[in-house]
């Protein structure tokens, strides 16, 4: 497995790095850190989804969560992170 770079439709360049996975999932899954200039996102996927010639980068990005975020906990209203 290597680090890969790709371009998202929005024109951002994303660098893909590997993160540790649970020992019980090491044989079946990979955890990826997607990094752009101003954003870092995390996604877990099955190895066979990642280990292909052309992974679905847009799909991985769509399923990802912001680094440090939780899918079940939203940001408070009027969070400074809501404005770009």
The band of 84, judged by pLDDT with boundaries at 50, 70 and 90, is very low
Per residue in 60-74, pLDDT tens? 999 998 887 655 555
Model confidence over 6-45: pLDDT tens digits?
767 578 888 899 888 889 998 999 999 998 888 899 999 9
Residue 11 falls in which region: left (phi positive, over 0), alpha (psi -120 to 50) or beta: left
Q: In 13-81, which ranges are continuous DSSP H helix?
A: 47-50, 57-63
The pTM assigned to this predicted structure is: 0.71
Tokens representing residue 14 in the block: 């994303």
């Amino acid at each position: 497995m290597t680090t890969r770079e790709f371009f998202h439709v929005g024109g951002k360049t994303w660098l893909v790095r590997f993160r540790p996975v649970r020992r019980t999932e090491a044989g079946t899954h990979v955890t990826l850190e997607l990094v752009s200039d101003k954003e870092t996102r995390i996604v877990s996927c099955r190895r066979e989804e990642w280990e292909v010639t052309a992974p679905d980068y847009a799909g991985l990005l769509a399923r990802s969560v912001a680094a440090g975020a939780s899918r079940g906990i939203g940001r408070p209203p009027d969070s400074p992170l809501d404005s770009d």
